[in-house]
Structures are given as structure tokens and as C-alpha cells.
Amino acid sequence: MSQSNISIILVDTQLPENVGLSSRAMFNFGIEDLKIVSPKLEWPSEKAHAVAVDSHSIVDNAKVYKDLKEALSDIDYSVAFTARRRDMNKEIVSNEKLIDEIILKPKNQKIGIVFGGEASGLTNAHISLVSKCVTINTDDNFSSLNLSHAVTVFCYSLFRSINKNTDISINNLDNEVNNSELLNFFSHLELELEERGFFEPTEKMDKMKQNIRNLFHRANLSGREVQTLRGIITALTKYEKTGKI
């Protein structure tokens, strides 16, 4: 699932390999828009291409800007990844918190994710242009991540969260079986079982029906699954009565 509203913005990048590896991470996890701000390297770069593997299109289509302000001109919401605490009044959130915020934003809102250069990261002037700062939790002994690794962590985190929420959403929609559908399924199943002498001895029939109903309640069946089960019952009973489906 492509995240067309997300832009990865690399500022003051020095190593072309980091651009190529960042584009590869973007390609892995469905982000296509790459912006490069005042790169400290020769561009276009064969070295970036060499490590980009299948993400050459992202490198080829990367847009280069003279400064961060220009790169953010079409962005609705922006954040900056940084490992350093800043002596300025700027909200700092975790990568996980950022992902939660992005998930809730309108899909047509353009979001810029800013990463600083390998040598000294982002300046306070850069930070002043974005809405908030973001940190990636690491071991206390060493908090600095390689640029392409930081990009990979963000891209993967967003991809994982979006797909997790998509799966939950699909399951929730699919699980919306109403009570009458379930009761009709029980009636259908119990009638066929009763006709075939399943409930023996008869004095235990009510208890056996309760157990069967509870079994299917625990299965948390979806509306589609209930329809499938009713189709199976119909096919089996029809085959027994006619000798063919």
C-alpha cells in the first residue's frame, strides 16, 4: 500500500550510499517521495544508484532543494528526527507516538519527515521550521543511528502500523454478524441435526444445543463465515436427499 502523502526529506546528506539505502527502505515499505535538501555530495550519484537496488525510480525522481524551507513549501505537517535534546521550546515525541498521530491524520494531508545529515544532524534553524521533534528509543549507551537506519525504522514502523490497523478494520467489518443471522444459523443447523437423530438421548437435547451454540459464539464468526456454514449444511443435506448436489 503506497503512502503517497508521506515525503522523506534528507537535509545536508554527505554520503550518497545513505541516500540510496534510504530510498531502498522507502521502496520496501511503500513510500515514494524523496526530497533532498542542500546535499553535501555530487548529485545525481552513481553510488546512490548502486545501493538502491530496485528503488532506482525513487532516486531518479528525488527532488533537490536549496533549503529546508523550500522543501516544506507544499507540506501540511512536518516533524524532524533528532537524537539530541534541544535548548528550545519544541515538543518531543517518540517514533511510536508519531506513527499513532499519522494514522489519525486525513489521507490527503501531506506529511514531511525530516532527517539531518550524518555529521551534525539538524540545526536549531532547521528544527524551528517543523512542528515537533521525534526520537527513536535506543540503548542508553549509544543513541545515534545511521541516517538510513533511522529512515528504515520510521518507514517500517509506519508500514507495520497501517497494515495492522487495516487488518483490524477489515476484520471488524467482516465480524459484524447480527444476532438474527446467528439465530437463524442455529435454527438451520439444529433442525438438520435433529432430523438425523444427532440429539440422543432426547432428554439431553437442550443441553447439547446450548453447547453447540456456545461453541459457535466462541468462534466469533463473521457474517460471511455464517453464510458459508449455512451453504455447507444445505449442500450436505441436499446431497443426502438427492444423491447429488
Instruction: Output the domain CATH number for residue 232.
Output: 1.10.8
Residue 220 placed within a domain = yes
Question: How far is Cα 2 from Cα 30, in angstroms, rounded to an integer?
Answer: 4
Contacts of 92 (CB under 8 A, 6+ apart): 85, 86, 132, 133, 134, 135
| Pair 168, 198 in one domain | no
196-231 tens-digit pLDDT: 899 999 898 998 888 888 788 667 778 888 889 988
pLDDT above 80: residue 179: no
| Pair 115, 129 in one domain | yes
Mean of pLDDT values over 166-190: 64
Instruction: Give the residue with greater pLDDT, 169 vs 21.
Output: 21
What is the pLDDT confidence band of residue 169, given thresholds at 50, 70 and 90?
very low
| Pair 68, 37 in one domain | yes
Query: Can you read off the three cell numbers belonging to residue 48?
Result: 546512490
Q: Which domain holds residue 31?
A: 6-173
| Pair 116, 232 in one domain | no
Mean of pLDDT values over 168-185: 58
Residue 44: cis peptide before it, omega within 30 degrees of 0 = yes
Are 95 and 157 in contact, with CB atoms under 8 Å apart? yes
Instruction: Give the residue with greater pLDDT, 59 vs 226.
Output: 59
Residue 96 placed within a domain = yes
84-125 tens-digit pLDDT: 777 777 889 999 999 999 998 888 899 999 999 998 899 999
| Pair 91, 26 in one domain | yes
Contacts of 20 (CB under 8 A, 6+ apart): 45, 47, 48, 49, 50, 51, 52, 55, 59
Q: How many domains does the chain have?
A: 2
Q: Taking the alpha carbons of 8, 95, 14, 19 in that order, is the dihedral positive or negative?
A: negative
Judged by DSSP in three states, 3 sits in: coil
Are 157 and 97 in contact, with CB atoms under 8 Å apart? no
CA distances from 131 to 76, 82, 122, 157, 217 (A): 10, 13, 14, 20, 47
